[in-house]
Amino acid sequence: MKIMNVFLVLFVTLCMALPAGAQVHLGVLGGLNLASCDVDPLEGGMEISNLTVFGFGGVLDYDLNEFITLHLEPMYLQKGAKGDWDIFELESKLAYIEIPVMLKYAFGTSEIKPYVIAGPTIGYLLSGKGKVSGGGYSEEEDIKDETKSLDFGIGFGAGVSVAMSNNSIFLEARYALGLTNINDDPDDPDTDVKTKGIQIFAGITFPLGGK
């Protein structure tokens, strides 16, 4: 929690340091996360595949100039993966409060603007569930205590926004790569598990104050 407090202090400081005349946009977004994990070492014969989960949250944009925007997306985001091992299917589903802090660079000045985004992300674990099924057997367990609370990563991608009167709708896709080993299982301390995912979101933003 101390790390989260430091992050919040840095966020507030950053907001205070922004130009006084910067245009602020608020909005909402939602979409899918094609989630998976890198596991090292991987149990012999196991195959890891994507788990389709979802995320939703808010958007906070600060226009630093005509082309560059500080783009924040605090959201509820699910992560995880599927694994096939012999006759068994394993599934892990993790829920996070995720805060991507991106820089967005938009191209052109027309109503339709393509853009690229990149920046760090931090996630705070809310819950974790693991499930094993196959051969007439099925069991689900809580794996939150076996998973580290914080997940740091980076994200990068592209999107397009379309102006509609004073508002804008957008569609974006990005690749998120976890940099933290989230495994905290005392019975398996030598395994590294890092999250990753292809995220596709759509949303709408509007200028603060309706201007």
pLDDT in tens, 146-190: 999 999 999 999 999 999 888 999 999 999 999 999 999 998 889
Question: Considering only 5-9, 56-60, 73-77, 144-148, which range has the smallest mean pLDDT?
Answer: 5-9
Query: Residue 8: what residue type?
Result: L
- Mean pLDDT over residues 133-145, rounded? 88
CA dist 14 and 108 (Å) reads: 27
> Do residues 87 and 134 lie in contact, with contact meaning Cβ atoms separated by under 8 Å?
yes
Backbone angles phi, psi at 146, to 5 degrees: -100, 10
SS3 state at 187: coil
pLDDT band of residue 18 (cuts 50, 70, 90) is low
* Tokens describing residue 34: 């094609």
pLDDT of amino acid 1? 47
CA dist 78 and 190 (Å) reads: 25
CA dist 33 and 205 (Å) reads: 21
pLDDT of amino acid 23? 83
pLDDT in tens, 62-92: 988 888 999 999 999 999 999 888 788 999 9
CA dist 62 and 65 (Å) reads: 9
Fold classified for 34-210? Porin (2.40.160)
Backbone angles phi, psi at 10, to 5 degrees: -65, -40
Nearest to 85 by CA among 141, 39, 131, 44: 44
Spans of all domains in the chain: 34-210
Query: Residue 199: what residue type?
Result: Q
pLDDT of amino acid 87? 80
